[in-house]
Amino acid sequence: MRKAMIKVTTIGALGASFVLPGFATEASAASVTVKDKKLVYKKSGKTVKGFYEYKGTLYKNGKKNKGYALVGADSSMKLYYNTSLKKGYKTAKNNRYLFKDGKLAKGYKTASKNQRLYYNGVLTKGYEVYKASNGARYLYQNGYLKKGLKLATRQGETVLFKDGVVAKGHTVFKNKLYTDGVLNVAFTQVDDKYYQYGILANGVIDGKNYKDGIVVEKPVELTDEQVIEQLKAKMAASQTELTELHAQELEVASLIKQVEEKTAGATQANKIKAKSVQEATEAIERAQTLLANASTAEELLSALEQLQAAQKVLEATIQKEVNVLLADATQMLEIAERAASRDTAAGAITAQELIKLATQVVDTVVNTYGNVPTINLNLDGYKAQLAAAQKTLDSNPQNPNPPSNNGNTDSPLPPTVPVIPPTTGGGNENNGGNENNGGNENNGGNENNGGDNEAVTLEKALAEINMAYMQGDPYVEREIGVADPVILTIVKYAAILGIDLTDYQAVEIPENITFELNSFNSLTVEKVTTGFNDAVDAQKHSEEQFIQSIEQLLTSEIEDKDKQYQLANQITEYHKMVGYSRVAYDALVAYKQQEDENYSLVLPLDADYSSVKSILAVLDAAVKKESAGLSEADLAFFELQASFKDSTIAGVKYAAAHAQVLGLDLTGYNELELPQSVAITDSFSNIDAFKALWNAAVVEQLQKEQEALTAVKGATKDNIAQVLAQYGEVLQLPLLASSSGQFPGELESILNAALYENVKDATTIKAIQQGVAPVRLAFIAAFLPINDFMGSSSDFDDEFDTAQSNEEKLAIIKKYQSKIAALYTSNGTANSVEQQIRVELLKVLQDEFQRMWYSLLLGAADVLGLSAYIDNGKFPTPEDVTVENKAQAQQFLILIKSYTGIEKEILEQEVLKRIQVTEDYENATFDEYVEAFEQAIEAAK
């Protein structure tokens, strides 16, 4: 049923675009034969080098293979034992790969009693929570069970793991109490200490005084910091409780509708009164069972009474939780006011954080229950305290980030991703993918960005992290040895973000840590913290795995001579995992193998192999020693080839840096503004061939740059966006480049107006990049909320696949339909470039949202067993109702009548498109269609 949620390539929807060595490649079944027990080429009679499978038998260098052999690359890799594919399960390459019957094992598979996790035969990357067939959950890091304690959040649930399995019993982790892996919010005693809301109990609880989890005689006066900690924990627990209650409430309302449809006209006593949420849950379960079976009207009436009583209990419980949450938010604002009144920058920062947290929590409550008549939201006290706290903060002379909304207390803080131009521009020498991309001493080329002389707020820190993240290209692999600018920026603001850098500082090669997400998504504190910690943990694990692999080789039972030969191969195999460039090593081996095809670099066994850096130092020293006395020009050529194997950018950089020894002319190259864009994709076997490729590529890049500059200079305020889009790839303007150079709807005129003034006087590419940068960031910031939702199909899949019942599946479908409807109706005053762009994007994607919503409707029909009845979405007419399909018709009618508001409008459009093609309903309305259906069901007897 994954088809219910249709994934959309959103960038595409907007019109934007963004053989192992030694294998016998010349051989074919017709060109080889076996002669004197050797595999040879028919014409020349020479032995077939490398591995080759002939008539089901594997040969190596012409002879039948002996022992294990790993053949092929990537997904086509195969494992042989002697001459045939290895039967059964078998791992290879230090457990990196898992094979079944000689081929990479498909799907998720565990090995060694759940110690390792593979996907399509390869150890999984990063963190992965895996649910076994028995329901047990495991946490893996780079394919191995994660050692120690680690929190992981999946499908909205945060679970504590210990050594890769859910932590059993009571566990205190980072000063919070978890029970069987879940945060324990109940009042609980563990050993000699008490916890409440997951943290040490403080203050008065049930008439007793507590201080740091211990009962004391005298009342305890809590500090603001302790109260804040309690409030955060308590509010988080209340939010979780409200989420669960709200889901139950929606389920009850849906069930009541279904039962009322089946008992229309019958009378009921309505005397049953549920007394607790537990009884309400039992009433839901009973109603679900009765609806699933052929129940009598009397049974259904009884169920209806219980559901209505359960509904009242849930409403009362929700009202109580809402009141508590509003009171806690108001108390948090009181502390914010006190903090702001201290007239210090620290007090102002604390006040801003508390105001933001309180308003986020209350906004969620208002969005959920603002239009629910049975829930009373008394916001007067909260609003008064919010205004007082904001006023005090505004008057704080040390406030480093005064609000720009002129005292509007409904939204006192700037957005998560403010659109502000970077100090150095969006694609200059220190930012945008060229020689100094994020790896220089000034962290992005901007000494004061964020402020050495200016107090920095959490919002400013997040803004700079978001900009570092957005200005990168998520589809371009970062070069080895170049630090990730996002990681550098997070480290810079670690104290403000509340991130502990202990583990980061323990990493040996921090330049290899990479902040990764699958696509552009707005970064919150939670995402930044989780992403950073995961990235650090991944690098730590890679380094530990690297050291362990060397230790295993050194302590293995093979002969010392073989160890010396294998060490270099073992070290370089892990080069990307630890951030090591193997260019010099590969060049040396290629150079030496000209004379000796069996050459291997020999490393000493008595060297220091205790750390990553010491291991790499041993290898570097050996490479340097072996390279001494070799021809500098020849070695440079092999290093050039090795650099291009890493990446085109790395190769071009190497060529420019070693131009003299390579004999390259840099005259044209030095005229380029974007030298890293020189494109050399063809292979070359000698330096003369490379020089020809180099000269042609430089000339081509010069022509591209000149053509782009001329086009932009000649652009007008009516076509500047189209011109920049057409030349976006040349100008290095990711996310604004378009193969067609066109933008949908009114988007082009909005971009024209925003871009023209910024770039009309630009005379260089870098000036163009600087002018485009703020508009590009506005485009991304407008797109992020849409993209966050459009990328949520995997979340839907995960939730849907783990649902235990049809009711749960329907609730999940309804939830995502509501999310779509919220985006579908999203509008507002377009008083900024970002808002104007977002409004236009929503207009363009409205049809897509509607199609996704309708796809989910078909998914709901599928869950209810109605796929055949609605004929794959064509929809039946009232005339199709018969005695035989009456029950299905009733279920179908209940489903389509359950939608209201904008969702009903979406449904109307989709239904009418399908039924108005028939003569009887050519001019019918949706309500007339429903009424006719009801009459047809009533008449079917």
Nearest CA-CA partner of 507 in 461, 542, 553: 542
Rounded Cα distance between 664 and 226, Å, is 67
What is the DSSP code string of 834-868? Answer: HHHHHHHHHHHHHHHHHHHHHHHHHHHHHHTT-TT
Residues 836 and 913 in one domain: yes
Q: What is the pLDDT of residue 406?
A: 39
Q: What is the pLDDT of residue 908?
A: 80
Residues 727 and 852 in one domain: no
Q: What is the pLDDT of residue 249?
A: 78
Contacts of 902 (CB under 8 A, 6+ apart): 821, 824, 825
* Range list of H helices, 605-677: 612-627, 632-646, 648-657, 659-662
359 domain-assigned: yes
- Percent of the chain exceeding pLDDT 90 equals 15
pLDDT at 451 over 70: no
In which domain, by residue range, is 694 found? 690-731+744-767
Better pLDDT: 791 or 561: 561
Q: Average pLDDT in the 825-838 region?
A: 63
Q: What is the pLDDT of residue 508?
A: 92
Residues 925 and 899 in one domain: yes
**pLDDT category of residue 794 using cuts at 50, 70 and 90:** low
Better pLDDT: 494 or 242: 494
**For the purposes of burial, counting CB atoms within 10 Å of the CB of 73, is it exposed (0-12), middle (13-18) or buried (19 or more)?**
exposed
Q: What share of the chain is helix, strand, coil (3-state, %, to 5)?
A: 50, 10, 40
Is residue 608 within 8 Å of 618, Cβ to Cβ? yes
- Reported as a single tens digit per residue, the pLDDT across 85-118 is 999 899 888 788 999 999 998 888 998 888 999 9
Q: What is the pLDDT of residue 161?
A: 94
- Reported as a single tens digit per residue, the pLDDT across 195-217 is 988 889 888 888 888 988 899 98
Q: Average pLDDT in the 422-433 region?
A: 32
User: Taking phi first (over 0 means left), then psi (-120 to 50 degrees means alpha), and beta for anything else, what does residue 940 get?
Assistant: beta
**pLDDT category of residue 229 using cuts at 50, 70 and 90:** confident
pLDDT at 411 over 70: no
pLDDT at 154 over 80: no
Residues 703 and 774 in one domain: no
**End residue of a domain, out of 379, 395, 411:** 395
435 domain-assigned: no
Q: What is the pLDDT of residue 14?
A: 35
Q: Across 65-74, 632-641, 779-788, 919-928, which has the greatest mean pLDDT? A: 632-641
Q: What is the pLDDT of residue 741?
A: 52
Residues 360 and 390 in one domain: yes
680 domain-assigned: no
Q: What is the pLDDT of residue 877?
A: 76
pLDDT at 940 over 90: no
Per-chain mean pLDDT for the chain? 78
475 domain-assigned: no
Q: Average pLDDT in the 215-240 region?
A: 82
Residues 757 and 885 in one domain: no
pLDDT at 670 over 50: yes
Residues 777 and 790 in one domain: yes
**pLDDT category of residue 471 using cuts at 50, 70 and 90:** low
Taking the CB of residue 175, how many other CB atoms lie within 10 A of it? Answer: 10
Is this model's pTM higher than 0.75 or not? no
CA atoms within 13 A of residue 790's CA, in its CB half-sphere? 26
Contacts of 857 (CB under 8 A, 6+ apart): 817, 895, 907, 910
Residues 791 and 853 in one domain: yes
Q: What is the pLDDT of residue 405?
A: 42
Residues 707 and 805 in one domain: no
Rounded Cα distance between 673 and 652, Å, is 14
- Reported as a single tens digit per residue, the pLDDT across 671-690 is 999 888 888 878 888 899 99
Residues 821 and 715 in one domain: no
236 domain-assigned: yes
- Reported as a single tens digit per residue, the pLDDT across 258-304 is 777 776 655 554 445 556 677 767 777 777 776 666 567 777 777 77
* 27-41, 309-323, 625-639: segment of lowest average pLDDT: 27-41
In Å, what is the CA distance from 719 to each residue of 743, 751, 755, 760? 11, 9, 10, 12
* Sheet arrangement for strand 203-205: 203-205, 208-211, 214-216
Number of domains the chain contains: 3
Q: Average pLDDT in the 156-184 region?
A: 89
Residues 923 and 835 in one domain: yes
Residues 823 and 915 in one domain: yes
72 domain-assigned: no
Report the relative pairing of strands 182-183 and 188-190 from DSSP bridges: unpaired
96 domain-assigned: no
Q: What is the pLDDT of residue 569?
A: 86
**End residue of a domain, out of 378, 395, 412:** 395
**pLDDT category of residue 407 using cuts at 50, 70 and 90:** very low
Better pLDDT: 44 or 455: 44
116 domain-assigned: no
Better pLDDT: 15 or 553: 553
**pLDDT category of residue 397 using cuts at 50, 70 and 90:** confident
Q: What is the pLDDT of residue 454?
A: 41
Q: What is the pLDDT of residue 611?
A: 93
Helix (H) or strand (E) holding 333: helix 297-340
- Reported as a single tens digit per residue, the pLDDT across 504-550 is 999 999 998 988 765 556 678 888 888 898 889 888 888 888 898 89
